[in-house]
Structure 1
Amino acid sequence: MMQVFEFEDQKWFPNFIRESMTDYLRYVLNTTNFYRPTTLLLYDCLSQSHVNYCVDLCSGGGGPIESVIKNLKDEHALEVRFILTDKFPNKEAFNFIKKRLPNNIEFIESSIDAVEVPTELVGVRTMYSAIHHFERETIKSVIQDAIKAKVPIAIFDGSDKSLLTIVIIIIFHPIAFFLFTPFFKPFKLSRIFFTYIIPVIPFCTIWDGVVSILRLYQPGDLLKIVQEVDNNYKWKAGKVRNNLYMNITYLTGFPENN
C-alpha cells in the first residue's frame, strides 16, 4: 500500500478543517447517492443477522448514511437505525443528521477506534469510504474485532484506482467547492473563510482525495486479509458500479451459523 499521508488522519490537523472536509464528503455522497448499488449487500447482512441496527465505523461527518437509510426503506421496506462513531467524532454533524432523522440515528460522542469497538455497540458493522485509510495489519484488526464480537461487517469504498479518477477529482472538487459551499450544512462562517479567502479546505480535500485513490484496496486484497483471520465467517468481495459509472469495492462477512 502506498505510504502517503492524508490530512484528516493526523492528530495535529485542526478539527474545524477536518469537520468541514467530512461535511463536504457527506454532501457529495448523499447528493449523488454514491453508494446506492451497495444497498442489497447491506440488506443481506442485516437479514442474516436478524437485526435492524448498524454500527457505522469511521463515520466522519456522517458520510452517505442518510441516503443509505433512504435506500433501505425505499428498496426493501426496512427501517434501520445507525449508530455513528468515529475516532474524531464530528459531533455537530452527527447532531445535524440526528435532527433530520431522529428515528434512525444515534451517535457516540466519545472517540471510538474501529479496531476496538465497545461490546455494547451491537449491530452490523459498516464502513463507508474509510478502509483505504488503514494499513493492512490494521484492517486485519478491524475484521478480527468484528469476528470476536460475532457480528456481521460490511465495508464499502470507492471509486476507481485510475489516473482518470485523479484528474476528475482535481477538476471537480474546486468547482463543487466554489458553487456549493454556502449550501453545506451545518452552516459555518469558518468554512466560507477557509474556502473562498484562504482555500485550505479545498486544497486539503483534493490532496486527501488523490491520496485516497492511490491507497484504494481491491477485492482480492481484502479477501487475502480475511483468509488470515477467517473464523467460521462467510465472506463476499467484489465491485459494483454506481450511477456515476464508478466502481465501488465491497467486502461483507457474517457468521455462517447465523
Structure 2
Amino acid sequence: MKLRLQLFEFEDLPWFPRVIRAGMMDYLRFMISGLRIYQPIVPLLRDALLRTGHHQLLELCAGAGGGTAGVLRQLRAAGLPQAQVRLTDLYPQPAAWQELQATTPGLDAEPAPVDATAVPAGLAGFRVVFSAFHHFPPTAAEALLADAVRQRTGIGVFEGAGKHWLELLLACTVLPVAQLLITPFIRPFSLSRLLFTYLIPLIPLFTIWDGCVSILRMYPPEQLLRLAHRADPSGAFTWQAGKVRHHWGPEVTYLIGIPNNVA
C-alpha cells in the first residue's frame, strides 16, 4: 500500500482524556510484547549499536513501552550484555513504566516530557522510535530525524506493520475481539481500564480508529528514505530502510541512520 493519508489519531490530541489514552497504550504494550512484534529487527539494531559504540537506547515516543523490554532482553542475549534502555515521551506514563522497570534490568525512564524533535543534549544514546513515527506529519518527521543528525547520534525508526490492506482489515475485525478477551489480563490492574472497555467501551472504539489511521499514516521505506535525505542534506549519515518479516508472517518497516566516520 503506497497511499499515505495525514488523518488524525485521538491519542495525539492534547485534550484527549489521559485515562483513555493510558488504556489504549496499555493494550498496545500488551499485544506488541506478547506477540514479540519487534523480534525481527534485533539483528539490525544490534549491528547499529556495535557500529556506533552505544550501549544505551534512548526510546522516543515510548508510550507505555510496548516491545521495549523484549527487545532489550534479546539484545542482551545476542551478545550485548551491557545494553540499556531509557524511555521518554511527550506524555510520560510513569505507572506503566514502573511496571517495566520492576521486571526488566537495564531499563529506566525519564520522568519529564521530552519533545522528540528537540531532545535535550543530556539525554544520550542511540535513538529508537517504536510504533510512533507515523504520528508525525512530514515536516515534524523530518525535524525528528534532523535533530538526530544535528546531535550526531544514530537513530532507528520501527513500525510494527508492513502497510498492507490485510492489516487494515485485521485492525477492524480480529484485533478488537482480541482486545475484549485480553483486557482482564493486562497489568498493572486498572479498574478504569475495565470500565472504559466493557461498560463504556471508549477504549476499544478509539483503538479501532487509531489503529486503522496508524496504518494509513505509515511511511513506506521509500518515503522514509526521502525524509532522511531531506533531514541530512550534507550526507553526514548512512541511511538504510526496508522491511523485515517475522517468522510467523507479520512485517516490520524500518529506517536506520548511522553517522559516518563513527569510532
TM-score band by shorter chain is over 0.9
Matched, 1:6 2:47: no
Q: Which amino acid aligns with 1:109?
A: P
Equivalent residues in 2 for 1:69-84 (5 A)?
Answer: 69-84=72-87
Shift of 1:77: 4.4
User: In the alignment, what sits opposite 1:34?
Assistant: 37
RMSD: 1.2
Equivalent residues in 2 for 1:1-258 (5 A)?
Answer: 1-101=4-104, 103-230=105-232, 231-258=235-262
Query: Distance in 2 between the 1:133 and 1:125 partners?
Result: 17
Cα deviation digits, residues 216-247 of structure 1 (max 9, x gap): 11110011111123241111111101134122
TM-score, length basis structure 2? 0.94
Q: Which amino acid aligns with 2:94?
A: K
Gaps of 5+ in 2: none
Query: Distance in 1 between the 2:148 and 2:163 partners?
Result: 27
Name the SS for the 1:89 alignment partner.
Answer: coil
TM-score, length basis structure 1? 0.96
Aligned length: 257
Question: Which consecutive aligned stretches of 4+ in structure 1 deviate over 6 angstroms post-superposition?
Answer: none
Contact 2:125 2:153 in 1 (8 A): yes
Aligned sequence identity (%): 38
Contact 2:148 2:154 in 1 (8 A): yes
Query: Distance in 2 between the 1:87 and 1:241 partners?
Result: 30
Shift of 1:207: 0.7
Contact 2:65 2:96 in 1 (8 A): yes
Cα deviation digits, residues 5-61 of structure 1 (max 9, x gap): 101101000011101111111100110100101001111111112121010000000
Gaps of 5+ in 1: none
Aligned CA distance change for structure 1 residues 111 and 23 (closer, same or farther; 3 Å):
same
Cα deviation digits, residues 104-157 of structure 1 (max 9, x gap): 111111111100101001100000001111111111100111111111001101
Contact 2:162 2:243 in 1 (8 A): no
Name the SS for the 1:156 alignment partner.
Answer: strand
